Structure 1
């Protein structure tokens, strides 16, 4: 974690403190968490928070907190559990970033990370594939219009192409090993390098399409012998969240330890 990234986190943390919510987990996300960032990449910061005790008791609906400046997003614990259990790749991966990519992890955040396998199930097959398919549709749409190599549209198309390969590679990891790592710096260049800088449609690299085909075959093979349960252990996840909230409320309200 460099000084600039830490400074971005401290700025975000100050906003949460003003809102009287308790941040329990925060990490790098996006290209920097994947190991694919460039010099102009944003610092994506994500996290999980516990609402103030008063808001919990008054049943106030505390939604996602997003900062206007920068790519910063924090989910309340209930929303995080729901999205992660449904296999949302953009949320689930927060628990699978490298430890040196963590900004903060208190005892509650550590408990969630230690139990991250509870969120993994064969439901991830459809969710990861669905997100990859969404990027493919966006890529196909972008391909309809010629673009200049290196332009914003070109780079956006390349980014979506790289997302597809990364998502499929992570899904292979999950199905074959029962876990995965957000750090995924290896990729196949998706487009053939153009011979000139004229406006044109990107040409997919044959090595890239071969990589996608290979990954899809491995996914189909791994799915039939998947070691993951059909669905998350919702009962265990509910119990985990209940224990965290009970302890948080006891601590916040000075009720003392559980008998």
Structure 2
């Protein structure tokens, strides 16, 4: 059960109007620990005077800390910056727009959810391949290795493969594994759900996970090569019109 009221109170304190705020991170991915923080992501709207003048407002607002007993990490981008990210091979922003864990929404957010499919390209595979490789490097350096970064590796690889094959963004590892049926994942997820954020792994399991990550990386590369998704996003014109409408107060 999400602490909706407490999260909404934090969102209400944002210095700019928010077009949406959703939950990302471990809660979205389906494996929050008892001590996981809440990762809030969204779009803020800078007023016209902070866009057209010599002194402009912040494109990104970040605020982290403990609020009413909750650890919250809030990151929002101005609408123009966020729309630009949507038109690039950025899986993060797609997942944020489409997150089912919604703290605050608006008609603009609903429109973005409708346009999200037109922002997906086959080259989003590079985002997931790169993130998985970086997470594996971090995981491999740890002593002892932790469950959390390993689950992040599995999550991004399965999300990427699923996206290339279906054109659908699915960030929840539990739901993804209903399709992939990797036998090692339920136990890892259970350990993450039940244990502290710094839960660790046994050395004996590392060889198995290394082979699996290599296999899934190859699967994502093949899925990218065979994907029928567009080469480029097709939502640029619609996003441009929506940006003008939002900025001008339409």
Please say whether Structure 1 and Structure 2 have the same fold, judged by a TM-score greater than 0.5: yes
> Does the CA-based 8 Å contact 2:11-2:21 persist in structure 1?
no
Shift of 1:57: 3.3
Instruction: Indicate the residue corresponding to 2:242 in structure 1.
Output: 244
> Does the CA-based 8 Å contact 1:190-1:204 persist in structure 2?
no
Shift of 1:205: 4.8
Match of 1:43 among 38, 42, 52: 38
Shift of 1:22: 2.1
- Cα deviation per residue 1:43-73 (whole Å; 9 max; x = unaligned)? 1111112211222332624221111322111
> Does the CA-based 8 Å contact 1:97-1:183 persist in structure 2?
no
Distance in 2, matches of 1:241 and 1:55, equals 21
Shift of 1:206: 5.3
> Does the CA-based 8 Å contact 2:89-2:124 persist in structure 1?
yes
- Higher CA-based Rg: 1
Q: What TM-score, normalized to structure 1?
A: 0.76
4+ runs of 1 displaced by more than 4 Å? none
Shift of 1:230: 1.7
Distance in 1, matches of 2:106 and 2:40, equals 17
Q: In the superposition, relative to structure 1, how do residues 222 and 58 fare at CA in structure 2: closer, same or farther (>3 Å)?
A: same
Equivalent positions of 1:34-113 (< 5 A) are: 34-58=29-53, 60-69=56-65, 70-98=72-100, 101-113=101-113
Query: In the alignment, is residue 184 of structure 1 matched against residue 153 of structure 2?
Result: no
Distance in 2, matches of 1:126 and 1:106, equals 31
Distance in 1, matches of 2:40 and 2:245, equals 26
Shift of 1:201: 7.0
| Runs of 5+ consecutive residues of structure 1 not aligned to the other structure | 148-153, 194-198, 252-256
> Does the CA-based 8 Å contact 2:147-2:201 persist in structure 1?
no
Equivalent positions of 1:104-123 (< 5 A) are: 104-123=104-123
**Alignment size in residue pairs:** 225
Distance in 2, matches of 1:78 and 1:110, equals 17
Shift of 1:169: 0.2
Distance in 1, matches of 2:58 and 2:147, equals 36
Instruction: Indicate the residue corresponding to 1:31 in structure 2.
Output: 26
> Does the CA-based 8 Å contact 2:21-2:42 persist in structure 1?
yes
What SS does the aligned partner of 1:216 have?
A: helix
Bigger relative contact order, structure 1 or 2 (CA pairs below 8 A, ≥6 apart): 2
> Does the CA-based 8 Å contact 2:63-2:74 persist in structure 1?
yes
Distance in 2, matches of 1:163 and 1:105, equals 27
> Does the CA-based 8 Å contact 1:190-1:208 persist in structure 2?
no
Shift of 1:41: 1.3
- Cα deviation per residue 1:173-197 (whole Å; 9 max; x = unaligned)? 1110011212222462569x9xxxx
- Cα deviation per residue 1:2-24 (whole Å; 9 max; x = unaligned)? 3x24312322322x2xx3x2211
Instruction: Indicate the residue corresponding to 1:175 in structure 2.
Output: 164
